[in-house]
Structure 1
Amino acid sequence: MSDAVRVESLHKTYDDTVTALAGVTAGFPNGTFTAVMGPSGSGKSTLLQCAAGLDRPTGGRVFIGGTEVTAANDTKMTKFRRQRVGFIFQDYNLLPSLTVEQNVVLPLRLAGRKVDRRRCREVLGHLGLGDRLNDRPEKLSGGQRQRVAVARALVTEPAVIFADEPTGALDLRSAQDVLALLRAVVHQYGRTVVMVTHDPMAAAYADSVLFLADGRLAGELRNPTADAVAERLAHLGDAARVGVAA
């Protein structure tokens, strides 16, 4: 199985003093759902930002769909990201002045691509938002807003969707609905999802969990359960506290 995303020897430092990533190599296969977890400060959000082309690593390479995005200049990277990458954020990142439909097609407009309104409405219909096309985000619940964000990520038909704490602002029921939706995106639509989360329950929806600690890979768990993820995180947290104490 080929990788939708691959990072090789990824390093990221800030101000030449803080090391966020220290040589991470990992692959995210096509058509899979991977959760990335670790203690606070482990580098998980930095890994997502570098892998998605939102931030440049200090060293190493990033490949999306076989294309090395780290070799591109900023303009080309931005263009590639708009065409091949979808994003879902904790705070939805919807524009309040736009309707649901306008928010969903915005990435297509920014990329200079033709807007297929039938495709857009089809996606929104599948996500239970077919009757909310002309509503603005303020009229939607948190769960509905995140569904709009999922639709926006899907409509560009990206090589990979990066989700950064997508359920962090949702109640339990809405979170479960969105996570089930992300699983369906992978297993029914064949997309690839990479999700950063701190929640073991959320990670249990993924096919596998990649653990980070101190900017390095600290293991992988396939077919995760919430209990197994929580136990692994507890061990990582204990190790981090011991390191600080030492």
Structure 2
Amino acid sequence: MTEAVRVEDLSKTYDGSVTALDGVSAAFAGGTFTAVMGPSGSGKSTLLQCAAGLDRPTGGRVFLGGAELIATTDTAITKFRRDRVGFVFQDYNLLPSLTVLQNVVLPLRLAGRRADRRRCRAVLDRLGLGDRVDDLPEKLSGGQRQRVAVARALVAEPAVIFADEPTGALDLRSARDVLLLLRAVVHEHGRTVVMVTHDPVAASYADAVLFLADGRLAGSMTAPTADAVAERLAHLGDTAARVSGAAA
């Protein structure tokens, strides 16, 4: 199975003293759905941001689709991302002045690529938004806005979709719909999804879970269940608390 994302000995330090990542190495195979979890401050969002090219690591290497993300200029990194990566964020990141369809085609326009509006409409229709293409985001529910964000990530046909707490602002039913959608993106369309979440139920929709604690890898789990994930997280939190107490 080919690797969609690989990070090698990744480190990230802020202000020269706060270590968010400490030598993390991990690989995410193509066509898989992985949740990244850990206690608050464990480095999970930093890992996603560095792996996606949204932030520059202090050290280590990042590979997307077998090509190394080399930190040269911001413009070069942006172009590299646009060709390989899609994003889904907790706050949707939709432009309020653009319609649903305009939001979906925006990444293609920014990349200088021709937007096949018929295909974009087909994607929106498949996500249950075929009758909302001309609506502004303010007219949509939270779950519908997140589905627009997923559609926007899909139309560029990226190798990997990074999702940062995609269900954090949704009610239970909308969250379930979005998680089923992400799982379908992987298992029916062959995409790769890497999702940061704090919710064991959300993690149970993934194929595997990668755990972080104190900026380091702290284990993994395949075929996760919500109860098993919650139990593992509780132990990770206990470990982090003991380490913090010892340091104090």
* TM-score > 0.5, shorter chain as reference: yes
Tell me if 1:78 matches 2:78: yes
**Alignment partners' CA distance in 2, 1:85 and 1:22:** 24
Cα contact 1:90–1:166 (8 A) shared by 2: yes
Give 1:71 shift: 4.7
2:49 maps to a residue whose letter is: Q
Counterpart for residue 201 of structure 1: 201
- Paired residues for 1:49-198 under 5 Å: 49-198=49-198
Q: Secondary structure of 1:49's partner?
A: helix
1:183 maps to a residue whose letter is: R
Q: TM-score, normalised by structure 2?
A: 0.98
Tell me if 1:231 matches 2:235: no
Cα contact 1:5–1:28 (8 A) shared by 2: yes
Cα contact 2:36–2:196 (8 A) shared by 1: yes
Counterpart for residue 38 of structure 1: 38
Consecutive unaligned residues in structure 1, runs of 5 or more: none
**Alignment partners' CA distance in 2, 1:34 and 1:170:** 20
**Alignment partners' CA distance in 2, 1:151 and 1:53:** 21
**Alignment partners' CA distance in 2, 1:225 and 1:110:** 40
**Alignment partners' CA distance in 2, 1:94 and 1:78:** 18
- Report percent identity of matched pairs: 80
Q: TM-score, normalised by structure 1?
A: 0.99
Cα contact 1:56–1:70 (8 A) shared by 2: no
Q: CA RMSD in A?
A: 0.7
Give 1:245 shift: 1.6
Consecutive unaligned residues in structure 2, runs of 5 or more: none
Q: Secondary structure of 1:125's partner?
A: helix
Give 1:82 shift: 1.2
**Alignment partners' CA distance in 2, 1:155 and 1:35:** 22
Task: Provide Cα deviations, 1:95-125, integer angstroms capped at 9, x if missing partner.
Answer: 0000000000000001010010011001001
Give 1:243 shift: 1.1
Q: Secondary structure of 1:106's partner?
A: helix
Counterpart for residue 242 of structure 2: 242
**Alignment partners' CA distance in 1, 2:82 and 2:19:** 28
How many residue pairs get aligned? The number is 246
